[in-house]
Structure formats: structure tokens, C-alpha cells
Chains A and B, each alone.
Chain A
Amino acid sequence: MNSWINLNALWKIVVIGLLAGAGLPALFAVGLRALSPRGGASGSADPGGSAEASAEAQPDLLQKVAAGICFLAVLAAMGWGVYSIVHNS
């Protein structure tokens, strides 16, 4: 479109960049959250107490599955990234 800036490439880089660059860590965070105990016990007021709470309250199966899906999705996206580098050459 423009001989100085390839606007078509630019918006794709921004949008896909946001999806991959910000979305994947966010997905990872969702997985991490699913693995850690839920509810009010994890208050930030007392770090010692919250550590104890996390040792007691184990995540249930559903949470583990959800976390697993998140982590797998992140890994899959990384794999796809490497695959696309190899294929673009």
C-alpha cells in the first residue's frame, strides 16, 4: 500500500503479536491459577499462612485438567512457532 511502511504486515504483526506475545503468558497464568488453591484462604495479608494453605488445599481433578490444557496449548503454540520458522525458509 505504502512504499515506506507495509501497513498490511504491520497490523498483522501487532494483532498476532498481541495474541501470541501477551495471550500465551496469560494462558500460562490461567493454568497456574487453576493449579493453586482457590478462595479466600490465599489472602495476601499473611504470606506464611497462605503458603500453608497452598500445601493443604490440593486442586481437584477438574482444575488439574484445565491447567493441563492451558500448558499444553502454550507448548503447542511454541511448537507451531518453531515449525513455521522451519517452513518459511
Chain B
Amino acid sequence: MNRSRRRHLCPPITFPQAICGYPPTVTGNSVLLALVVATALGFDFTNGFHDTGNAMATSIATGALPPRIAVAVSSVLNLVGAFLSFSVAATIASGLVQTHLVTLTMVFAGLTGGILWNLATWYLGLPSSSSHALIGGVVGAAIASAGGHAVQWHGITSKVILPAILSPVIAGMVAAVGTFLVYRITRGVPDGVRGRGFRLGQIGSASMVSLAHGTNDAQKTMGVITLALIANNSIGAHAKAPTWVIISCALAISLGTYVGGWRVIRTLGKGLVEIESPQGMAAESSSAAVILLSSSFGYSLSTTHVATGSILGSGVGKKGAEVRWSVAGRMAFAWVLTLPAAGLVGALAYATAHGIGGTAGTSTIFVVLAACATGFYLASRRTAVTASNVNSQWSGSVAPAAVPAGAAA
């Protein structure tokens, strides 16, 4: 096993050559291509910090791992996971839009939609699906550029929408059964021993979710960049992701994870269910199992949907646990909205970029995107959620009360 991982890690040596090999094949679109790659890596970064909570929220909430350590562990495992498997990478590109109609501007506009939706939901502390944001953005841009026939609706329904409805339910069910069993079996065990034991167990289960996230989500961006390279004729139509793409995507998602989307972590860990370590371990085991199984069947699920379903399930499976259904309802609403909203932004971005035309159009959107991202960042600073207050008492909103002592009283 170790040896095969080495084999995957070996290519870095050829990394400079891969880049050097490029100039001869680069066409007049090299500026545009560079913008697309930069935006894709930016999306991957938001994907990382948006989804840190999927793996680590419950471990942070139960104190199994200190917040900073948790995001660091998750970040490393995401990096490792990104090199482990490449089976999902293709699915994001093929079967959703007519690949031969894809242009660089379309990919770029789609990414813009994905990033902006990710940032908006992160600001609100809503764990929405990064994969859906990306797919929504690309589909929206495709419709804006070539009309409805550019989209493979059957593929969207069977590969994106139905799994999105089924996966949280399955994950929730598994987590509920797991939680019920775990509490039943450990009924006679003193609380202290049980808490300590399951906190240790959580480290293992959370690590598995992080690994699964790396194998899934980093690949989605690899798929997008590969799609852009194909659209630019930089590589052949059926080429695999080049090594530099794999490495840069792995690094971007890992870096994003390390930054930690504390707002989302807080909602998942504290907002949804008051969680104890046995529930946390059951929820994480369920998430890891469902994500890994589905990806082995070729479904690139949203890890967010699975993780949220699991956490809800762990609340349902424990007698007397409080589940805040209003928070869950708000999330579900955001989930339904994700595809159309990201699609709308993607379509607008495409129309604007195409209207202005050429590199100037794309550059304009890029500048607007950067400005929006800065805006969200500055706005988030006013009610900052950080490693130090992520576990404060849930008071009905993402931002912890300014004076926790007063809020508790």
C-alpha cells in the first residue's frame, strides 16, 4: 500500500518539465487559460474551508481535538486523499454538459458562480454543497452560452439531483442506527470512560472523513481544470489530469481546509444538534462509509449533504437529544437554492464576460470576483468566528454573542 502511494507521489519530480512542456502548445488564449486555472484553484480553496466542518465539526464540538489541531489534521489528510484515487475526477466533466460545447469562458463563468455562492453561504454559516455550487455555475454558464440543449438533463438528474436527495437520508439513517446501538451497548459504562473512549474513536472516524473528502472534492477541481485544458486544446480530449493539476489542486484544497471555515464548523457542530462524542463518532463513521462506498460506485456525492444528514441522524438516534429542525430547515432551503443560484450567477458572469468580449471581458469578471471575495471577507471580520469562539454556546445565529457570559445568563 505504502509503495503504491509512493508511486503516486513520484511525479512531482517531473513537475517543472510538465510546465516547461507547455509553451509550445499554448495558443492565443494563454491569458484566459491562466485566469481559468487561477479561478479554479480559488474555487478549490473555498471548497476546502467550506467543507472543513464536514469532517471536523463534531470532533471540535465534543473536544475530541482542539480546533487548530483538528483543521491541521484534516488539511494533511485532504492532501493525502487527493493523491489516493482519481476515479471521481472525470464524472464532474462528463455527462453533465455537452463537452464539445465547452469553452474557457464558460468554465470561468461557472467557477465564478460556484465561488460566489460558496462565499455567501459561508458568510451565513450555512453548510451548502460546494459540488452543487460548481455544477450549478457551470450549467448556468452553459445555458447562457448555448441554450438548454448544452445541458445533459438526464445526467444532471440521475447523477446530481437524485443522489443529493437520497444521500443525506441514507447517511442520516445509518448514523441514527449507529447512535442508537452505541448508546444501547454502552449503557452500563460510566459517562467519563465512555466520553474519553469515544473521543479517541472520533479522531479515527474524523480522519476517515477527511481522507474521503480529499479523494472526492479535490478531484472535482482537477476535473474542471482538465476540462479547461481540453477546451483550450492544450491536451487531448480524453487525457487524464496532468500532474501539475493534481498537485496544485491538492495543495489548494488542503490550504483551504487549514484556514478552517469556522462559521460553517460552528453551525454543524453546535447549531444542529448538541452533540456528544458517541454521537460524533457514529455520525462521522456513517459519513465516511457512505462517501467512500458511493465514490467506489462512481457517484461523486456532496460530502456536505452526507455529513449534515449524519449529524441530524445522530440527533434522531439518541433519546432526548435536541435537534434544531429550524436550523436544518434553513440548510435544506439553501441546498435547494444552490443549483439555481450558482447557475444564475454563472449565467450572469458568462453574459457579462461574453458581452464585453475576449480577455477584457474575462478580466473584468475576475476583478469583480476578487472584489466580492474581499467584501465577504471584510464583512465576516465584523462578526468573526475563530478557533477561539467556535464552540461558544449556540445563541440562534452563527456569530457568537459578543459577551458570552451575558448571553449564558
Q: Given the complex, which residues of B lie within 8 Å of A16, measured CB to CB?
A: 289, 293
Q: Does chain A have a CB within 8 A of B193?
A: yes
Report if B194 contacts A (CB, 8 A).
yes
Kindly identify which residue among B87, B186, B293 contacts A17, using a CB–CB cutoff of 8 Å: B293
From B85, B154, B194, B294, A3 is in contact (CB under 8 Å) with B154
CA distance A18 to B201 in the complex (A): 18
Number of A-B contacts (CB under 8 A): 152
In the complex, which residues of chain B have a beta carbon less than 8 angstroms from the beta carbon of A25? 178, 181-182, 201, 205, 278, 281-282, 285
Interface size class of B (residues with CB under 8 A): 35 or more
Scoring B residues 1 to 21 as 1 if CB is less than 8 Å from chain A, else 0, what string do you get? 100110000000000000000
User: Are the C-beta atoms of A42 and B201 separated by less than 8 Å?
Assistant: no
Is A86 positioned at the interface, with any CB of B under 8 Å from its CB?
yes
* B292-A85 in contact (CB<8A): yes
Contacts A22-B175, A24-B285, A88-B87; is A47 near B158 (CB within 8 Å)?
no
Q: Which of A6, A16, A20, A35: most chain B Cβ within 10 A? A: A20
**How far is the CB of A21 from the nearest CB of chain B, in Å?**
3
B22 at interface by CB-CB < 8 Å: no
Tell me, rounded to whole Å, the shortest Cβ–Cβ distance linking B222 to chain A.
Answer: 12
B270-292: contact bitstring with A at CB < 8 Å (1 yes, 0 no)?
00000000100110011111101
B interface secondary structure, majority: helix
Does B174 sit at the interface, judged by CB under 8 A? yes
Contacts of B174 in A (CB 8 A): 14, 17-18, 21-22
Q: Once the chains bind, are A86 and B289 in contact (CB under 8 Å)?
A: no
The verdict on B166 contacting chain A, using a C-beta distance below 8 Å, is yes
Using a CB–CB cutoff of 8 Å, the interface residues on chain B facing chain A are 1, 4-5, 81, 84-87, 154, 157-158, 162, 166, 170-171, 173-175, 177-178, 181-182, 185-186, 188-194, 197-198, 201, 204-205, 208, 211-212, 215, 278, 281-282, 285-290, 292-297, 299
Contact surface of A with B, Cβ cutoff 8 Å: 3-6, 9-10, 12-14, 16-18, 20-26, 28-30, 32-33, 35-36, 38, 42, 44, 47, 50-51, 53-54, 74-75, 78, 81-86, 88-89
